Structure 1
């Protein structure tokens, strides 16, 4: 008689475990794990043309294009493509850059310099809908404005090239952050 109860208890425990597992799995079926849930699922490819540069530093557009493409490939599920007929197009334009001396020595040599780049960016799908979402963007606007600066200390061995590269990398990350879907 005792072995019948043990058999019933074991079968009941197995059935309860299976039922709990089924409820847990089916309850989470709509959720996505990882960074896939942060980005749009209707976009798979992104075309990033060479960024137009309206500043006097001629290499900023090319360097920023490379940084944006690399950030998209590394941080998003999207594939960067060279095909203009991709699912979406991310167009950017450098609208200005500046270099300002913050402090200087007694002999007028710069001790700290602020480097800044301002860009305009828009992400549009094939149908012409704006894909970047931001609550600050006024109605009717298609482009976002980003500005990033970096402090450079020449006495510490920093150069304008390294300071601007830091700004470029930060701008690329800001752009990719705006590609995330808002909660």
Structure 2
């Protein structure tokens, strides 16, 4: 009898669900976000365009916010790439060429309520890492590591936009 009761309760729980929705974790006071192209304070060209595009896609896919122009949006997410560093993780014994490389991209960003001028979120020295293997058999290019780091940064930046619990 107790087993049937426990199974019925579990079944009801499964049918009802927990009511989780990704929209519930984002602040509903805001509806739109402007995302100007990130500033690039490094000599690495075009990285700011890739990061901005990745952030916009993450916002559109994972949040209830609509990306809008600055003159229309109620918030703005702006930032700058402050540092890009490469380092060798390993090298081949024959010839000493790099076998695996790591690329670290560092950004500063802030999310601002354009109606009040208040900073909603701000991060300095926010980093993400991408790895790539430039030698054969993988023969990956620098762009592989850059892409991985940019995608991780975009995911992490958008994750900071969740509401405080």
The residue number in structure 2 matching 1:27 is none
Runs of 4+ residues deviating >6 angstroms: none
Q: 1:38 aligns with which of 2, 21, 25?
A: 25
Range that drifts further, 169-178 or 85-94: 85-94
> Would the aligned equivalents of 2:131 and 2:144 in 1 still touch at CA under 8 Å?
no
Question: Equivalent residue of 1:182, what SS?
Answer: coil
Provide the TM-score with structure 1 as the length reference.
Answer: 0.74
Question: Equivalent residue of 1:131, what SS?
Answer: strand
Range that drifts further, 151-160 or 108-117: 151-160
Q: 1:146 aligns with which of 126, 142, 145?
A: 126
Distance apart, 1:180 and its partner CA: 0.2
The residue number in structure 2 matching 1:60 is 47
Confirm whether residue 128 of structure 1 aligns to residue 117 of structure 2: yes
Unaligned runs of 5+ in 1: 1-31, 133-141
Confirm whether residue 79 of structure 1 aligns to residue 66 of structure 2: yes
Provide the TM-score with structure 2 as the length reference.
Answer: 0.81
The residue number in structure 1 matching 2:149 is 167
Q: Higher helix fraction: Structure 1 or Structure 2?
A: 1
Q: Higher strand fraction: Structure 1 or Structure 2?
A: 2
The C-alpha deviation readout for 1:50-101, integer Å capped at 9, x for no partner, is: 1100111111101100000010000000000123441101011000101111
Structure with greater Cα Rg: 1
d(CA) in 2 for partners of 1:104, 1:147:
24
The residue number in structure 1 matching 2:105 is 117
d(CA) in 2 for partners of 1:42, 1:177:
17
Distance apart, 1:33 and its partner CA: 4.7
Question: Equivalent residue of 1:158, what SS?
Answer: coil
